[in-house]
Chain A
């Protein structure tokens, strides 16, 4: 069964360092998303991406965040200068269409900022 894969599963970084989280969405999907879940809190929408550009973003997704699809298979989230409050589980998701169907989620990348 096709699945969304994410790497790394866990990354520890120092405050102020740049982090790149990687995702490989399901191959025929066209819409891509990043969500995050701070420990014990709700799953929060960060950004959606379609046709090589951001289609929606939340207030959380400020200038410190960026996304790109560099090679037609990977979908990356970059945090330019990490802060302590960026520590969270980051989930990538993809969907085949813009119709209101399910999103397929990866297993997440846990980011710990020290």
Chain B
């Protein structure tokens, strides 16, 4: 069965500092990995995805994520955080050959202070 773990409920970082939001996954086959962001009272918005190819993928708003197969991780990163990045971040996985639905983690709240 597919699963995603986000070990931190909350990440706090000062504006201008780098941020990392952690995600690990478990699948039987090859993973397709995604990050979504949710602002208050809004739906989930796509940030980036890893399907194949380069392990470092770049997405919206300056975010990037690194796929690490040996550690089964897909951590979200940004070199310099903004207060406006404060939101709830979800990692998701889909296993190839296992349908089209995404399986989400429980989410990590990112709080960026000025």
The residues of A with any CB-CB pair to B shorter than 8 Å are: 4, 31, 33, 35, 41-45, 48, 50, 55-56, 58, 91, 93, 95, 98, 100-108
Contact = CB atoms under 8 A, between A and B. Distances in A.
Interface string B80-104: 0000000000100010100111111
Interface of B: 32, 34, 36, 41-46, 49, 51, 90, 94, 96, 99-107
A50 B51 CA distance: 22
Contacts, number: 57
A104 B42 CA distance: 12
B100 A42 contact: no
Contacts of B34: 102
A91 B104 CA distance: 13
18 contacts: A41-B106, A43-B44, A43-B104, A44-B104, A45-B101, A45-B104, A50-B100, A55-B99, A56-B100, A91-B43, A98-B100, A100-B32, A100-B51, A102-B34, A103-B44, A103-B46, A105-B36, A105-B43
Given A56-B101, A98-B100, 7 more contacts: A42-B90, A56-B100, A58-B101, A103-B46, A103-B102, A104-B46, A107-B41
Kindly list the 8 A-B residue pairs having the minimum CB-CB distance in the complex, ordered from nearest: A42-B106, A105-B43, A102-B46, A100-B32, A43-B104, A105-B44, A107-B43, A56-B99
A31 B41 contact: no
B48 to A, nearest CB: 9
B44 A100 contact: no
Contacts of A98: 100
B101 A4 contact: no
Contacts of B49: 100-102
Contacts of A4: 43
Contacts of A105: 36, 43-45
A98 B72 CA distance: 24
